[in-house]
């Protein structure tokens, strides 16, 4: 019997909105890696001399740095939000028969995010 | 079908994903806007310098950088396979995890040296 | 003057054609009609050669799954009035070989359902003899796996999964959700036996959490969550086995 198999093209992810945003979500990992590299440069300069660090801070004022930061921030924020929203699917807790609502789990994760962000800024920037 | 050893890679991916989601947005705001434009007053070189030389901070920074590298490696590997590069999936795994391992070694080296 | 509705339907007749083609049909538009009603009208009144599967027409048997405008749907639950353009394209469920018209081969799916051992498994010597009565289970214990019992095997999740479309050796959402239904059942002790299939390279580790399977599921089974939870428990297993080589857990 000859069955028919519809061919799947490599641009399958351009054919629907959910697929497209899925691939975008996966590509945020590039910006995660990119920022890791930047952090290494920052740490290296910060551990070096005052001149080296000052030069770095100066370069952060450049348009290129601002554009890269903005693009990276957009993608990494998308990564963060999609990540936190999916957490309730993985963390399933029951209290007796009742399941803890997804919104509560997500809320707890977002709250932690806020707290962590505040701690980071306090540690780096000071009180 | 035998049981896979993917769990370790997935764990690294998950840890790196959680860390980058929790920590990177704030860091991006700090390095992108706050520090260069001094929006939080003057943050002295000494403060930052002493912070990154602190052994505990170094340990934390190591994980904050290494784990997201593995997050990228795992996620990027699957993405490349899904958009058509399945025939070279072994090469992709090599490049991705190899890249993450390299990044981790570089991070360790830099943190050790400062 | 009553309105009409156009259906562009995928046709494939292997005895006559080597290639599939689309055929357009015009049916009357009725407010309360679903796509299945339109297809039945076509079969009864216009073209008796059209072949397709359906049964309960009320969303519980899982037979009538098709792609409607590129989205996997149960045609008995997709209302004509939700398509204001008054024109839809109907194709067989994505990811499966097509036998004829809208009928696809389900063999791969049926094999996978069997592979995950979808029945209560007990350890050696822990079978309860019939005289001792039933295995008891509290409502709280039921709550842990009840969601995964709701699957009607409609395969919309397989049609929505791009990973399955690219590689049909992937065990797939419904089969893994079914495995979880038993893994999370307090009466079951067979999780380890299912792991050979579930925790293999073709099992949960193929999944990249696109999540579309759960979006299209007509019964809110949430197979995507079942898979991710299986990833967590398989990872914990992996470490347990590393620490204590002979400990195999449940």
Instruction: Please name which of A41, B92, A6 lies closest in space to residue C67, comparing C-alpha atoms.
Output: A6
Q: Where in chain C is the domain with CATH 1.10.1060.10?
A: 107-243
Nearest CA in chain B to A40: B107
Is A11 within the bounds of a domain? no
Kindly determine whether residue B69 and residue A36, on different chains, have CB atoms separated by under 8 Å.
yes
Q: Are C89 and C68 in contact (CB under 8 A)?
A: yes
Mutation site for A-interface testing, chosen from B14, B16, B27, B98 by largest number of A Cβ within 10 Å: B27
Superfamily covering domain C4-104: Beta-grasp domain (3.10.20.30)
Mutation site for A-interface testing, chosen from C211, C215, C221 by largest number of A Cβ within 10 Å: C211
Kindly determine whether residue B7 and residue C163, on different chains, have CB atoms separated by under 8 Å.
no
Q: Which domain holds residue A32?
A: 16-73
For B50-91, the DSSP string reads HHHHSHHHHHHHHHHHHHHHHHHHHHHHHHHIIIIIGGGHHH
C107-243 architecture in CATH? Orthogonal Bundle (1.10)
For residue C11, the cross-strand partners are C21
What is the DSSP secondary structure assignment for residue B33, as one 8-state letter?
I
Q: What is the pLDDT of residue B17?
A: 97
- Neighbors of chain C with 3 or more C-beta pairs under 8 Å: A, B
Return the structure tokens found at C241: 């086995």
**Per-residue confidence band for B3, with pLDDT thresholds at 50, 70 and 90:** low
CB atoms within 10 A of CB B102: 11
Helix, strand or coil, per DSSP, at residue C105: coil
What residues contact residue C114 under an 8 Å CB cut-off, 6+ apart? none
Residue A96 has pLDDT above 90, yes or no: no
With tokens 């407010």, the residue in question is C31
Instruction: Please name which of B112, B17, B21, B109 lies closest in space to residue B67, comparing C-alpha atoms.
Output: B17
Residue B1 has pLDDT above 50, yes or no: no
Q: What is the pLDDT of residue C248?
A: 52
Task: Inform me whether the C-beta atom of residue A64 falls under 8 Å from chain B C-beta atoms.
Answer: no
pLDDT in tens, chain C (250 residues): 579 999 999 999 999 888 999 999 999 999 999 999 999 999 999 999 999 999 999 999 999 999 999 999 999 999 999 999 999 999 999 999 999 999 999 999 999 999 999 999 999 988 999 999 999 999 999 999 999 999 999 999 999 999 999 999 999 999 999 999 999 999 999 999 999 999 998 999 999 999 999 999 999 999 999 999 999 999 998 888 888 876 555 4
State pTM to two decimals: 0.93
- Convert the pLDDT of each residue in A20-49 to its tens digit: 999 999 999 999 999 999 999 999 999 999
- Neighbors of chain A with 3 or more C-beta pairs under 8 Å: B, C
Q: What is the pLDDT of residue A127?
A: 61
Task: Inform me whether the C-beta atom of residue A55 falls under 8 Å from chain B C-beta atoms.
Answer: no
Helix H or strand E encompassing C68: strand C65-68
> How many distinct structural domains can be found in chain A?
1
Number of H helices, E strands in chain C: 9, 7
- Distance from C-alpha of C173 to C-alpha of C211, rounded to nearest angstrom: 10
Nearest CA in chain C to B76: C208
Q: What is the pLDDT of residue B114?
A: 87
Task: Classify the complex by whether its ipTM is higher than 0.85, answering yes or no.
Answer: yes
Helix, strand or coil, per DSSP, at residue A122: helix
Main-chain phi, psi angles of C91, to 5 degrees? -135, 160
């Amino acid at each position: 019997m000859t069955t028919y198999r519809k061919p799947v093209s490599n641009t399958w992810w351009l054919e629907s909105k959910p697929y497209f945003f899925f691939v975008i979500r996966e590509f945020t990992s590039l910006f995660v890696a990119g920022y890791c590299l930047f952090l290494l440069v920052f740490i290296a300069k910060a551990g070096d001399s005052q001149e080296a660090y000052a030069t770095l801070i100066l370069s952060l004022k450049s348009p290129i740095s601002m554009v890269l930061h903005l693009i990276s921030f957009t993608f990494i924020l998308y990564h963060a939000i999609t990540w936190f929203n999916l957490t309730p699917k993985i963390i399933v807790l029951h209290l007796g028969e009742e399941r803890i609502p997804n919104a509560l789990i997500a809320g707890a994760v977002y709250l932690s995010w806020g707290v962590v962000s505040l701690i980071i800024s306090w540690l780096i920037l000071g009180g | 079908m035998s049981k896979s050893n993917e769990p370790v890679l997935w764990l690294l991916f998950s840890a790196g994903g959680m860390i980058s989601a929790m920590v990177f947005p704030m860091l991006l705001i700090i390095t992108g806007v706050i520090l260069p434009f001094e929006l939080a007053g003057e943050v002295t070189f000494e403060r930052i310098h002493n912070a990154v030389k602190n052994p505990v901070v170094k340990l934390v920074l190591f994980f904050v950088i290494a784990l997201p590298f593995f997050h990228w490696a795992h996620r990027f590997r699957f993405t490349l396979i899904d958009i058509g590069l399945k025939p070279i999936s072994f090469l992709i795994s090599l490049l991705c995890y190899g890249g993450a391992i390299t990044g981790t070694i570089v991070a360790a080296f830099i943190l050790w040296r400062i | 003057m009553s309105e009409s509705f156009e259906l562009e339907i995928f046709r494939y007749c292997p005895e006559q054609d080597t290639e599939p083609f689309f055929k357009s049909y015009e049916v009357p538009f009725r407010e309360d009609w679903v796509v299945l009603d339109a297809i039945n009208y076509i079969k009864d009144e216009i073209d008796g050669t059209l072949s397709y599967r359906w049964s309960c027409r009320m969303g519980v048997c899982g037979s009538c799954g098709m792609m409607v405008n590129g989205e996997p749907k149960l045609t008995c639950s997709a209302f004509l009035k939700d398509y204001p353009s008054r024109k839809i394209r109907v194709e067989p469920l994505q990811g499966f070989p097509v036998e004829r018209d809208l009928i696809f081969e389900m063999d791969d799916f049926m094999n996978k359902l069997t592979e995950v051992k979808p029945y209560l498994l007990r350890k050696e010597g822990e079978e309860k003899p019939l005289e001792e009565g039933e295995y008891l289970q509290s409502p709280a214990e039921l709550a842990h796996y009840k969601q995964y019992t709701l699957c009607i095997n409609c395969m919309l999740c397989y049609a929505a999964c791009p990973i399955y479309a690219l590689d049909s050796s992937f065990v797939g959402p419904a089969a893994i959700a079914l495995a979880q239904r038993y893994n999370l059942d307090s009466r079951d002790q067979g999780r380890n036996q299912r792991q050979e299939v579930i925790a293999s390279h073709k099992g949960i580790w193929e999944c990249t959490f696109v999540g579309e399977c759960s979006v299209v599921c007509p019964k809110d089974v949430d197979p995507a969550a079942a898979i991710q939870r299986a990833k967590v428990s398989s990872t914990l297993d992996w470490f347990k086995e590393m620490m204590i080589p002979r400990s195999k857990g449940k």
